[in-house]
Amino acid sequence: MEIEGVQIIPLKIIPDDRGQVMHVLRSTDVYFEQFAELYFSMIYPGIIKGWKLHTKSTSCLTAPVGRLKYVLHDLREGSVTKGNFQVVYLGENSYQLLIIPPGIAYGWKNLLPSSALVANCATELWSPQESQNIPFEQIKFDSW
């Protein structure tokens, strides 16, 4: 089921004999909001991370290495999709940008026996007041 405001954008890969260029986000893209920081997160095999919730920041996520299962849960008051879950796969064989607005909790699992790499281009600088970790057992999702 889809969650209102979540966007999934296929990304361009430009291969050549030496390797490849993997586009992520440009300031001219219609879905570009603003840039505050870019960071990478390494996820070890079989690990589930989450739940993460941002109150102001939009997360723009992609996984250039590995294969990840993202589970999103809409916690926004007044949202027509409040309480809904959405599952999105990111990785080398599904190279796309996942845009998650504030108020949507998300967790992710590495599905491969090797480490995965996530890039997040966030619209706000990280701060402990804006970014929350929700205890894993607080949001029930059985299909990891």
Report yes or no: 90 and 98 within 8 Å, Cβ to Cβ. Answer: yes
99-110 residue pLDDT tens: 999 999 999 999
**By C-alpha distance, which of 36, 61, 25 is closest to 127?**
36
- Calculate ∠ Cα 111-42-122, nearest 5°: 105
Report yes or no: 35 and 27 within 8 Å, Cβ to Cβ. Answer: yes
**By C-alpha distance, which of 28, 3, 25 is closest to 12?**
25
One-letter identity of residue 67: R
The pLDDT mean for the chain works out to 96
22-42 residue pLDDT tens: 999 999 999 999 999 999 999
Q: Which residues lie closer than 8 Å to 88 by C-beta, 6 or more apart?
A: 6, 8, 69, 70, 72, 98
Instruction: Give the domain 1-17+37-116 fold.
Output: Jelly Rolls (2.60.120)
> For the chain, how many residues are written?
144
Q: Which residues lie closer than 8 Å to 95 by C-beta, 6 or more apart?
A: 10, 11, 13, 22, 62, 63, 64
Domain boundaries, given as residue ranges, for the chain: 1-17+37-116
The band of 15, judged by pLDDT with boundaries at 50, 70 and 90, is very high
- Output the pTM of the full model: 0.94
